[in-house]
């Protein structure tokens, strides 16, 4: 394990250790706490003593001891203690089931949990992050994140959620929730990366790592492949998406030589392998769109016709105002600004978008293309007022004033 950080080692083992304890003792909640304590012990001891020969069995041993200690010290549970002490006499818990990570992901994304709690619990129980690290990554106090974790565990308990195979009928919906959670983690990391805060945890890296784990368990699922491809193709642009000042650089003005070519190649290969395979889901389509962008060496070479077709397909499988807005941009580039404006027109009366900055921002862009600077300026200004992103507001205000100077 030379060159590998201690933290990478123990975090990779977390799902296996937690699964082993939960399977053995049946107490997910207690096991989850015990694993976190074992990680803290590892953080203290490994740098001093060196890593153990088998990190996994070390962690299982330490976490089991913590779990049993916790039961013992909890006098109010004396009756339960007897039951658990009896179980202690058996063989040590084994950690080797191949689909530990998957089982845990499915449990953490139980439908009884609010999305924010699913995210928090997934990052702790499967990702092996501490509550403090998760809180820092989401820019909330540790106490707030701790509430989300304990809320999640309480909801699992009260719903009698078990750590075992899901009925086949429930699997597709639960897997979809897992994918949504991983994508949300990725997006949180990606959209925040323009900010000036330094983090010790990269949510994008974590989301990609966990999606790779998921893909290793479900190599034949084209949507999981699509999700991984989408993350890789998006993340490939990260070095080019901000300038020295931390301001966002729009896709068409990014220095494409700074895109991560390895990540692009891996993402494109994943999309190409997944697309002909069965039903085409929204992640595959979004990844395919990202792949078309990635394959253009300059923004002028972008195949907007193909992107327009892909957005039309996306609008069929996953309709929504945001997809329509993206379709409008692509249509504007492929078939002219007037065609793009026609696509966006029905959204102007959609109450769901009444306070969303993306609608006036897209219209501004299309109106500017159409040679209507006055209307474009007004829409840029409206978008700037509505956005809550500081760099976007700066960008939109700059567009508005550049049109005013003409």
Partner 1 sequence: MKYVILIHSNPQPWGHPTPNFLPEYEALSPAEREQLDKEFEAFLGELHAAGELVSGEALGDPTTSKLYRASSHDDPPVATDGPYSESKEHLAGFFLIDVASQERAEEIAVRFSGPGETVELRPAMWSGGDEA
- Residues making contact with partner 1 (CB under 8 A): 114-117, 120, 138-141, 144-148, 151, 191-197, 237, 241, 246, 248-251, 254, 326, 329, 355, 387-393
Residue 110: which residues within 8 A CB-CB, separation 6 or more?
A: 118, 155, 156, 159, 161, 174
Instruction: Tell the residue number behind the tokens 């193709």, with chain if given.
Output: 233
Q: How many CA atoms lie within 13 A of 139 on its CB side?
A: 8
Q: Determine the Cα–Cα distance for residues 108 and 119; give it in Å rounded to an integer.
A: 8
Q: Which is nearer to partner 1, 66 or 237 (CB)?
A: 237
What does the alpha-carbon distance between residue 291 and residue 265 come to, in Å, rounded to a whole number? 9
Output the smallest distance, CB 171 to partner 1, in A.
25
Minimum Å gap between C-beta 151 and partner 1 is 6
Choose between 355 and 406: whose C-beta lies nearer to partner 1: 355
Q: Please, what is the minimum distance in Å from the beta carbon of residue 12 to partner 1?
A: 27
* Cα–Cα dist 288/219, whole Å: 18
Find the shortest distance in angstroms from Cβ 363 to partner 1: 14
Give the integer Cα–Cα distance in Å for 371 and 359: 18
Identify which of 359, 350, 349 has the alpha carbon closest to the alpha carbon of residue 382. Answer: 359
Comparing CA positions, the residue from 369, 354, 364 lying closest to residue 398 is 364
Least spacing, CB of residue 148 vs partner 1, in Å: 3
Nearer to partner 1, 237 or 399 (CB): 237
DSSP per-residue letters across 304-329: HHHHHHHHHHHHHHS--HHHHHHHHH
Q: In 3D, which of 211, 58, 203, 217 has the Cα closest to residue 129?
A: 203
| CB closer to partner 1, 141 vs 278 | 141
- Please identify, using beta-carbon distances, which residue of 201 and 249 lies nearer to partner 1: 249
Considering the complex, what minimum distance in angstroms separates the CB of residue 169 from partner 1?
A: 27
Tell me the CA distances in angstroms from 111 to 108, 126, 150, 152, 318, one per residue in order: 9, 17, 16, 11, 20
CB nearer to partner 1: pick between 138 and 186: 138
Q: How far is the CB of 186 from partner 1 (least distance, A)?
A: 13
Element housing 289 (H / E): helix 282-295
- The phi-psi region of residue 387 (left if phi > 0; otherwise alpha if psi is between -120 and 50; otherwise beta) is beta
Q: Are 21 and 84 in contact (CB under 8 A)?
A: no
DSSP state of 349: G
Q: How far is the CB of 147 from partner 1 (least distance, A)?
A: 4
**Rounded Cα–Cα distance for residues 227 and 212 (Å):** 10
Q: How far is the CB of 91 from partner 1 (least distance, A)?
A: 39
Q: How far apart, in whole angstroms, are the C-alpha atoms of residue 156 and residue 28?
A: 9
C-beta of 138 vs 283, nearer to partner 1: 138
Taking the least distance from each CB to partner 1, the nearer of 24 and 358 is 358
* Nearest CB to partner 1, comparing residues 117 and 211: 117
State the minimum distance, in angstroms, from the CB of residue 392 to partner 1: 4
Dig out the tokens for 88 from the structure.
Answer: 């202690």
Q: Of 78 and 144, which has the nearer Cβ to partner 1?
A: 144
């Amino acid at each position: 394990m030379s060159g590998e950080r201690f933290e990478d080692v123990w975090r990779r083992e977390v799902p296996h250790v937690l699964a082993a304890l939960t399977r053995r003792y049946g107490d997910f909640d207690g096991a989850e706490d015990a694993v976190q304590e074992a990680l803290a012990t590892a953080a203290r001891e490994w740098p001093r003593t060196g890593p153990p020969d088998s990190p996994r069995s070390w962690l299982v041993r330490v976490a089991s001891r913590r779990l049993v200690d916790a039961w013992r010290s909890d006098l109010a549970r004396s009756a339960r203690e007897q039951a658990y002490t009896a179980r202690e006499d058996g063989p040590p818990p084994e950690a080797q089931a191949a689909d530990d990570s998957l089982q845990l992901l499915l449990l953490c994304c139980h439908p009884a949990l609010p999305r924010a709690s699913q995210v928090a619990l997934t990052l702790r129980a499967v990702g092996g992050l501490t509550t403090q690290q998760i809180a820092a990554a989401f820019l909330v106090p540790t106490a707030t994140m701790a509430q989300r974790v304990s809320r999640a565990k309480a909801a699992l308990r009260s719903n009698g959620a078990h750590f075992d195979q899901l009925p086949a009928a429930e699997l597709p919906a639960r897997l979809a929730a897992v994918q949504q959670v991983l994508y949300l983690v990725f997006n949180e990391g990606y959209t925040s990366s323009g900010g000036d805060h330094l983090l010790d945890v990269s949510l994008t890296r974590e989301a990609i790592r966990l999606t790779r784990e998921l893909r290793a368990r479900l190599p034949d699922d084209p949507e999981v492949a699509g999700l991984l491809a989408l993350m890789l193709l998006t993340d490939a642009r990260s070095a080019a998406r901000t300038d020295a000042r931390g301001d966002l650089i729009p896709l068409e003005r990014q220095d494409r030589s700074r895109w991560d070519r390895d990540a692009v190649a891996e993402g494109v290969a994943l999309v190409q392998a997944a697309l002909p395979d069965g039903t085409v889901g929204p992640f595959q389509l979004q990844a395919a769109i990202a792949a078309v962008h990635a394959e253009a060496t300059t923004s002028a070479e972008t195949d907007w016709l193909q992107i327009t077709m892909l957005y039309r397909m996306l609008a069929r499988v996953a309709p929504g105002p945001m997809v329509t807005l993206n379709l409008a941009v692509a249509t504007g580039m492929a078939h002219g600004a007037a065609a793009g404006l026609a696509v966006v027109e029905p959204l102007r009366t959609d109450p769901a978008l009444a306070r969303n900055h993306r609608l006036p921002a897209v219209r501004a862009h299309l109106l500017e293309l159409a040679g209507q600077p006055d209307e474009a300026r007004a829409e840029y200004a409206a978008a700037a007022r509505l956005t809550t992103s500081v760099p976007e507001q700066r960008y939109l205000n700059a567009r508005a004033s550049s049109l005013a100077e003409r």
